[in-house]
Amino acid sequence: MSKDFIDAHCLSKIGATKEYSTEWAVDRYLVGGKYFGLRFNDDAGDEFITLKHDPHNGDFLREQYEGILPRYYSNKLHWSTVKLIGTVPTGVIKDMIDESYELVFAKLTKKLQKKILET
């Protein structure tokens, strides 16, 4: 899955923005200042994205696909890292991006949600 596809799908979400974090060397996809995706390359050059999910959904997905891993440095119950080239179908990654965005958006204040939806 290409970086362009990830960018296009993440940025198609209402109020979504992208920024590069030099400290973490990742592209961060945000809504309301909170990240819902982190895209990065590991030392071997493999490309990954970290996404938020419902805890039960995360366990299920990690059991189904070897390319979905618990996220290092994050709550493994709520976040997983997906290897973008490999065993995870494009449709599954797209659904995971959608779920991550929705979960993060739902945690924003009602005032901020309204402001995002009005823009």
pLDDT number for residue 34: 97
Mean pLDDT of 64-88: 84
Whether the model pTM is above 0.95: no
Whether residue 1 has pLDDT greater than 80: no
How long, in residues, is the chain?
Answer: 119
Please state the domain extents for the chain: 3-118
What element of type H or E holds 13?
none
DSSP 19-81: EEETTTTEEEEEETTEEEEEEEE-TT--EEEEEE--HHHHHHHHHH-TTEEEPTTS-TTTEEE
Three-state SS at 15: coil
pLDDT in tens, 33-75: 999 999 999 889 899 999 999 988 888 999 999 999 887 666 6
pLDDT number for residue 76: 66
Query: Is domain 3-118 given the CATH code 3.90.1150.30 in the classification?
Result: yes
